[in-house]
Amino acid sequence: MNAENATTLLPPLCCYDPQAEPFGRYVLEMLFAEGLTGAEEQNVREAPLAADALKDRQAVIVAPCGEDTGAEQAALEALRQGTPVVFLRPSAATSAVLGLTDKQRRTANEAYIALERDHPLWFAALGDFMQFHGTADMYGEYGGPENVLAWIAGRDWALPFPAIVTGTYGAGRFAVFTYDLATSTVLFHQGRREQASTGPNPDFDGDGLFCPSDLFIGYRDRTLLDLPQADLQQQLLMCILEWASAPHAPLTRLWYYPDAAPAIVLLNGDSDGMTRPQMEWYTNMVEAHGGEYTVYLMEEHLKHLTPEMERDYRRRGHSAGPHIWHSLKPTVEEMRQRIQEEVALFAERYGYPPKTTRHHCVIWPGWVETAKALADAGFRMDTNYRAGDHQQYGYLTGSGLPMRFIDEDGEFIEIFEQETLFCDDYVLVDKSFLPPLSEEQAIAVSKEYIDAARDHYHTVVHLYFHPIYATGVQVNTGQFIRTAGWFEAVLKYATQEQLPMPSTDRWCTFNEQRRATALTGQRWDGTSGVLHLSVESDDGLPSGTLLVPARYDGLELAEVLLDGAPMELTRRSVVGVAHVLAVGGLSAGVHEVAIHYQ
């Protein structure tokens, strides 16, 4: 066997320099989202890197760091000794050591990458072209096009400058992104600060309100809205890490969803103009198909959900939260105050603080200031980001995964952003400045998104249905909307495809539990072909699922034991590679996993 016997490995390490690039720290969030929940971080400005301290790491990811920190030099030495390293927009000197030469005078800003189909790490879901945000350095030469995974590109043509390369240096495998993947991912998720209400270009789409979609006008290629670009580039990073760490041990991580589900469907709506019977109809429809519904209530509509009804809904798995409203263009402080008021109203009526929210008209002053206000008020998941004017539906943020916000100083905000892919009144009405879809078209495109998420992207398909449209209503544009047929078709299809439909609160809780379940000590025994893994869970993880390579070093995975008991195994191709998903309920505490290859 190629792997050394009894190899003990530490979790991946993310290295960042807040002076060079505050968003470099976001690599940690990306790894956690992808299930490497034991990953650690190091601020190299405060604690310099030492090559010897990196030698037992599963992998090291180096975000842009000032040359005076010595971080890249330490990572190069560790790479030479065999540690897998991924560099994000490294210095010209480091790039030259790794074979990227002839640095061009100009850079590529807000451009595209063209994926190289002939590279062994390419997988079909990537397609051919994707955007990146920020700046890429342009190098004229690299040692062989077979090692180029992506090229810097225009919208639909490749340029002869590498964007992502792979290779070996000394005893180690490496990859270089010539753009900063961490910063690009932040900007995919959070958009342009300058187009926030607090920036120089507020209300950029001119619709008279402050919304998250303002942050993405002119920033997101509308022809790529069907593609979760940020998630795919994050998954590509995982492919690179799995390849780079393969000489040492198979890379194991936590799967996105419970019970090895390939994707989930998230269904919720708000109280705008609804009656109690309409709310009950939609809630009961979801329940009849094995799912759970979440309704967000404006202050004046709290009367529709009595405390007794709310307790019964919660007992059945459904959930509720506030549909926060102040005005069309509130200040950051006005919105913060209103959030606190509505949390108090909700808690007073129902006896507990709300966990998730959706705002009326998805009002969102500031860039991340509203996210901070929500987190400070106790919210843990936000659903306000959705395609708006000139976009209609799709992956506005390039993502269908729950991801934490980060502020301009590189500080994480403890609330997940969970994007809404479809909002009924933007799909069936022309207020997005795009032709409305018919019910038949809406059903068809919803099924297409569900299929793509299930088979390729493994994202959350989040659809927003207002109960008021259950029985039909004429909106102020003069158009008539009735969504019951579309809603029922989605429910039936998700049930047919055996996809979970949790409430937003339940989904939020699962993600909190998953993030608090760390994959820590890992030891590969090359003689017996067993990977030993310690799993530490603060709160437990019901139906937790491990993702493990199905093959390693010529061996096939035979069984996975959790504390000595067999886990339920499901085989599935993920990002074009054969994997096994191992399911087993994790209680709070420390567990031992043994993954047997033979």
Quickly state the pLDDT bin for 475 (edges 50, 70, 90). Answer: confident
| CA angle, 287 then 293 then 298, to 5° | 140
Retrieve residue 550's tokens. Answer: 């199905």
Kindly report, residue by residue over 183-230, the tens digit of the pLDDT. Answer: 999 999 999 999 999 999 999 999 999 999 999 999 999 999 999 999
Q: What residue numbers bound the domain in which 552 lies?
A: 517-597
Kindly report, residue by residue over 16-68, the tens digit of the pLDDT. Answer: 999 999 999 999 999 999 999 999 999 999 999 999 999 999 999 999 999 99
Same domain, 428 and 285: yes
Domain limit, last residue, from 511, 542, 573:
511
Same domain, 98 and 130: yes
Same domain, 466 and 506: yes
Task: Return the pLDDT at 5.
Answer: 63
Kindly report, residue by residue over 118-165, the tens digit of the pLDDT. Answer: 999 999 999 999 999 999 999 997 876 679 999 999 999 999 999 999
Measured distance CA(228)–CA(181) in Å, rounded:
15
Q: What is the mean pLDDT of the chain?
A: 96
Whether residue 209 lies inside any domain: the answer is: no
Whether residue 269 lies inside any domain: the answer is: yes
Q: What is the CATH number of the domain that holds 559?
A: 2.60.40
Same domain, 365 and 239: no
Whether residue 383 lies inside any domain: the answer is: yes
Same domain, 409 and 538: no
Q: Cα 138 to chain center, whole Å?
A: 28
State the virtual CA torsion across 47, 51, 52, 54 in degrees, nearest 10: 80
Distances (CA, A) of 2 to 55, 176, 247, 249, 404: 17, 25, 7, 10, 38
Same domain, 13 and 135: yes
Phi and psi, residue 106, nearest 5°: -95, 165
Q: What is the CATH number of the domain that holds 65?
A: 3.40.50.880
Whether residue 202 lies inside any domain: the answer is: no
Same domain, 390 and 527: no
Same domain, 164 and 71: yes
Whether residue 139 lies inside any domain: the answer is: yes
Same domain, 390 and 493: yes
DSSP state of 215: G
Task: Please provide the distance, in angstroms rounded to a whole number, between the alpha carbons at the two ends of the chain.
Answer: 12
Domain limit, last residue, from 511, 544, 571:
511
Tokens 């969504």 sit at which residue?
483
Q: What is the CATH number of the domain that holds 366?
A: 3.20.20.370
Measured distance CA(364)–CA(420) in Å, rounded:
15
Domain limit, last residue, from 199, 215, 248:
248
Same domain, 25 and 173: yes
Pairing of strands 294-297, 264-270: parallel
Measured distance CA(221)–CA(455) in Å, rounded:
23
What angle do helix axes 484-496 and 276-288 make, rounded to 10 degrees? 20
Measured distance CA(512)–CA(516) in Å, rounded:
6
Using a 10 angstrom Cβ sphere, with 0-12 exposed, 13-18 middle and 19 or more buried, the burial of residue 209 is buried
| CA angle, 42 then 46 then 52, to 5° | 55
Q: Any alpha helices (H) in 464-580, and if so which ranges?
A: 484-496, 504-515
Question: What is the total count of domains within the chain?
Answer: 3
Same domain, 478 and 448: yes
pTM, 2 dp: 0.97
Same domain, 20 and 40: yes
